[in-house]
Structure 1
């Protein structure tokens, strides 16, 4: 996979505040061009041998494959779950200008804090 391949990374947060923390940290660090925080949904899953139900907030992260490791690390650092869902899928097609924008927005390094 090319380093500039656009990825759509999915995670779920337990609430909107956690989702915003994850989103802001990724966009501020230029690890993601855009993060969508979706309305709360209900998740049903098996965890440690029991079927669980929880309200969660889906988070969609647009980044590139070059930044995946850093995105994963940032999500794990900010995420309150013991084992957060982090799934990335390559974007096979999309509006060329939008895909170029994602690549450009994640290509820059952030300015120094005092700049």
Structure 2
């Protein structure tokens, strides 16, 4: 059973979090400044996808092909991440490269199929999350580089 003091402390903490979330939801940062002039809400129009590869070279080849096909606007490659996972009943530890792929959400299905068709792994990681807000000029770049006529 929870101590009464602990319960009161938890309630106070939850109230503080709720108040902070209310402030953020209104487009204000923690200091109360308006953040809308720096960012824009894109409601998931763009996504970021994570793909791991066995090497930097494989990641570069995939990245170049995805950008050429306009399935992605920009891909960051982070070399030498360590992945620990269970595969075929064994715990494995491998050095991999991590791709961070920015693309239109409507392209994620085609992007996933492209990666699956060109990736050396039997089961490759493709995990995508919607981008809710970001630098409006960068989000415009994502649009122009994939569905627009610029860049």
CA RMSD of aligned residues (A): 1.8
TM-score (norm 1): 0.87
**Alignment partner of 2:100: what SS?**
strand
Deviation at 1:77, TM superposition (A): 1.5
Answer whether contact 2:73 2:103 (CA < 8 A) is retained: yes
Aligned length: 108
**Alignment pair present for 1:26 and 2:26:** no
Q: Structure 1, unaligned stretches of length 5 or more?
A: 110-115
Matched with 2:107 is: 67
Q: In structure 2, what is the equivalent of residue 38 of structure 1?
A: 78
| 1:80 to partner: Cα distance | 0.3
Q: Which 4+ runs in 1 deviate beyond 2 A?
A: none
Greater fraction helix:
2
Name the CA distance, whole Å, in 2 between partners of 1:9 and 1:32.
Answer: 10
Residue of structure 1 equivalent to 2:98: 58
Who wins on radius of gyration, i.e. which is larger? 2
Structure 2: gaps (5+ residues): 1-41
**Aligned-partner Cα distance in 2 for 1:90–1:100:** 16
Does structure 1 residue 100 correspond to structure 2 residue 137? no
Task: Write out aligned runs for 1:8-19 (5 A).
Answer: 8-19=48-59
Question: How much does 1:48 deviate?
Answer: 1.6
- Please give the residue correspondences for 1:73-84 in structure 2 after superposition, counting only pairs within 5 Å: 73-84=113-124
